[in-house]
Chains A and B, each alone.
Chain A
Amino acid sequence: MPIDKFTTLESTYVPLPVENVDTDQIIPARFLKATSRDGFGENLFRDWRYAADGKENPDFVLNKSEYSGQILVGGKNFGSGSSREHAAWAIHDYGFKVVVSSFFADIFQNNALNNGVLPVIVSPEFLSNIFDAVEKNKEQKIVVDLEKQSISLNGKSESFVINPYKKNCLLNGFDDIDFLLARKEKIEAFENTVNK
């Protein structure tokens, strides 16, 4: 699936200052029964967002109208647990283009990148500034510039790390399969040397 191109984004954001947000919270297993990639946003954070009877939980941030935007900001160790790509699909389908945290689980980070969702790793101090700023001003914006690898809040910037290959993919909307398919001959040659 070709991914969305990403260059820069200026947006308000949704704060979720909880640590170790695992993929079972992002999308519970009972919603993994689909055979397509669509519609998972509906059940994003299902059990935090809705009570057992299906009513919205007014205390959960996605149900608070004062918070909005295309950036989700989570606590340390975001996306731990299951490898389900449905977690990245749900976040993407809901409308988020960037997830910010001070630490991401490996598989989630890969899955996000493979779906055009940019994981931005910031320092714990910067993360705590982001959480504080939005409590003072719900209209607070973050600017993410992929080319420059920078994230800015109120004029203060921090640079973030991204694999140069993945950066290029996101900037251009390339996906890994095209890259691999172009190397089929090399792969076959590798198989031949190993099987000798």
Chain B
Amino acid sequence: MEPKTLFDKVWDAHVVEKIEGGPSVFYIDKHLIHEVTSPQAFSGLEARGLKVFRPENTIATPDHNIPTENQHLTIKDELSRKQVETLTANCEKNNITLYGLNHPYNGIVHVVGPELGHTQPGMTLVCGDSHTSTHGAFGAVAFGIGTSEVEMVLATQCILQPKPKKMRITIDGELQKGVTAKDLTLYVIAQLGTGGATGYFVEYAGSAVRALSMEGRMTVCNMSIEMGARGGMIAPDQTTFDYVEGREFAPKGEAWNQALAKWKELKTDAGAKFDKEYVYQASDIEPMLTYGTNPGMGIGISGSIPAAKDVDPTELPSFKKSLDYMGFGLGDKLIGKKVDYVFVGSCTNGRIEDLRVLAGAVKGKKKADSVTAWIVPGSKQVEKQAIEEGLVEILEQAGFKMRQPGCSACLAMNDDKIPAGKYSVSTSNRNFEGRQGPGARTMLASPLTAAAAAITGVVSDPRELF
């Protein structure tokens, strides 16, 4: 038998029908929905007089557009409230499980799925959100879709998809102290560029990836879309199985043993072919920070923004436009740049390990007065655990206040907006113009680098501080 990649194995097992010269009818095991990209799909379904085909395979949670304060009160913003109410009504009408606001399982869709055990190896999983790639950390084929495709999945549990090409990114060796999964992914994206993996599905491999916790792996897979990849995945191993076992919706008893036997087969066979391969050394990676307006514009924290001579001349106008927006100059160093806001949260870095790293770093220290810090847990479960572990107390003593779960300042749909012209060190996934609010200037970083900025009020190397 021809050797297969991990991606081939999962993909091929879900093809209902291959269409000659066209896409495949591709079966979806798990469909996650939220309030922003689903309403038009439900109304489309209704206009056709259709019902949701497999409501039991669909999970809903509002996250993008909810406030992160006073969640027990009625949502003030009328349009946000309407979106959340529409999601509730659509779920009730179609018998879809909803983790609504104030539900103990509410949270960011890509945090909730894994922590409850909905996300499992070998699955296909989609959501109307590009960071659905997060779930690939479990060896699932998971990717973001548009609302028309949400409607397709609601109507038939399938979408039409051409099979992407395959890429493997191997990171060998050990990450240095102070260098995290977020730095690893920002490093890879800086190497490949923001469109470098467009058209590909990525498998991450190598000892540095193997050594990551599940949460670290989720951070890496989450950011796959930021280099254009359709998704990213990591072969499941003991780390994966230990994480999934015992979670509420994970298989139990005999079903667990059967699942485990299948999951252990989910790895790339020796000799399987990838369309593209990249190999990097973990020891080359230092804490990373972005300086521009796409996630590919990142450098090691001790480095400098490229000078004019180091930029492709055809790309120089767009590059300069980016730096103008950020208020940075060609060749500038980032260390010492003023920071006004720090945001720790999002589907990239809003999990319990991220809060542990943050609390561990700031314990016994004080936040700089000039910095406004927003700590937003990824879910109610993360929030609960952070309280139980005493992390919230540590954070409060250091001058931080934890808000309530949601996507928050990652995309600034709600009131959590960074003001125009202000600098934010953010653990989220995008530094696009205006992403964190009109005119906001975002530098993407790990929770550890964010902690360093919060304590000193300027961009600082966490390796020298903690």
Kindly identify, within residues 405 to 445 of chain B, every residue whose CB is under 8 Å from any CB belonging to chain A. 411-413, 420, 430, 432-435, 438-439
Residues on the A chain within 8 Å of B318, using CB: 18-20, 75
Judge whether A115 is part of the interface by a CB distance below 8 angstroms. yes
Nearest Cβ in chain A — how far from B136, in angstroms? 15
Judge whether A36 is part of the interface by a CB distance below 8 angstroms. yes
Residues on the A chain within 8 Å of B145, using CB: 83, 107, 110
Query: Does A81 lie within 8 Å of B130, measured CB to CB?
Result: yes
Residues on the A chain within 8 Å of B294, using CB: 20, 22, 80
Measured CA separation A67–B246 after assembly (Å): 61
Query: Does B17 lie within 8 Å of A186, measured CB to CB?
Result: yes
Kindly identify, within residues 138 to 175 of chain A, every residue whose CB is under 8 Å from any CB belonging to chain B. 163-166, 175
Task: Using known A-B contacts A19-B315, A85-B37, A177-B152, determine if residue A29 contacts B160 with beta carbons closer than 8 Å.
Answer: no
**Interface readout for B180-209 with A: 1 if CB under 8 Å, 0 if not?**
000000000000001100110000000000
| A-contacting 9-mer, from B22-30, B300-308, B394-402 | B22-30
Query: Does B146 lie within 8 Å of A186, measured CB to CB?
Result: no
Query: Does B432 lie within 8 Å of A81, measured CB to CB?
Result: yes
Measured CA separation A115–B148 after assembly (Å): 8
Interface size range of chain A in the complex: 35 or more
Query: Does B146 lie within 8 Å of A110, measured CB to CB?
Result: yes
Measured CA separation A171–B317 after assembly (Å): 37
Residue of A nearest to B296 (CB): A20
Measured CA separation A19–B219 after assembly (Å): 26
Judge whether A9 is part of the interface by a CB distance below 8 angstroms. no
Residue of B nearest to A24 (CB): B432
**Which of B83, B147, B148, B195 has a CB less than 8 Å from the CB of A103?**
B195
Query: Does B25 lie within 8 Å of A187, measured CB to CB?
Result: yes
Kindly identify, within residues 8 to 27 of chain B, every residue whose CB is under 8 Å from any CB belonging to chain A. 13, 16-17, 19, 21-23, 25, 27
Query: Does A30 lie within 8 Å of B412, measured CB to CB?
Result: yes
Judge whether B257 is part of the interface by a CB distance below 8 angstroms. no
Number of CB contacts from chain A to chain B under 8 A: 183
Query: Does A183 lie within 8 Å of B434, measured CB to CB?
Result: no
Nearest Cβ in chain A — how far from B457, in angstroms? 26
Residues on the A chain within 8 Å of B1, using CB: none
Nearest Cβ in chain A — how far from B41, in angstroms? 9
Task: Using known A-B contacts A20-B318, A165-B22, determine if residue A52 contacts B438 with beta carbons closer than 8 Å.
Answer: yes
Task: Using known A-B contacts A32-B36, A163-B22, A180-B152, determine if residue A187 contacts B146 with beta carbons closer than 8 Å.
Answer: no
Query: Does B19 lie within 8 Å of A165, measured CB to CB?
Result: yes
Nearest Cβ in chain B — how far from A17, in angstroms? 8
Kindly identify, within residues 98 to 122 of chain A, every residue whose CB is under 8 Å from any CB belonging to chain B. 103-107, 110-111, 114-115
Residues on the B chain within 8 Å of A106, using CB: 164, 198-199, 228, 230
Measured CA separation A105–B146 after assembly (Å): 13
**Interface readout for B223-246 with A: 1 if CB under 8 Å, 0 if not?**
001001010000000000000000
Measured CA separation A34–B44 after assembly (Å): 14
Query: Does A180 lie within 8 Å of B158, measured CB to CB?
Result: yes
Measured CA separation A30–B407 after assembly (Å): 13
Residues on the B chain within 8 Å of A194, using CB: 13, 27
Residues on the B chain within 8 Å of A28, using CB: 434, 438
Nearest Cβ in chain A — how far from B321, in angstroms? 7
Query: Does B194 lie within 8 Å of A80, measured CB to CB?
Result: yes
Nearest Cβ in chain A — how far from B50, in angstroms? 8
| 9 pairs of A and B residues whose beta carbons are closest in the complex | A165-B22, A33-B79, A85-B146, A35-B39, A83-B144, A111-B146, A114-B148, A77-B195, A83-B130
Identify 10 new A-B residue pairs, CB closer than 8 A, beyond the known A32-B413, A187-B156.
Answer: A33-B80, A35-B40, A36-B40, A85-B37, A107-B225, A111-B146, A114-B148, A181-B50, A181-B155, A183-B16
24 CB < 8 A contacts A-B: A29-B411, A30-B412, A36-B40, A80-B228, A81-B130, A83-B146, A103-B195, A104-B198, A105-B195, A105-B198, A107-B145, A114-B148, A165-B160, A166-B22, A176-B148, A177-B48, A180-B25, A180-B159, A181-B155, A183-B16, A183-B25, A186-B25, A187-B25, A194-B27
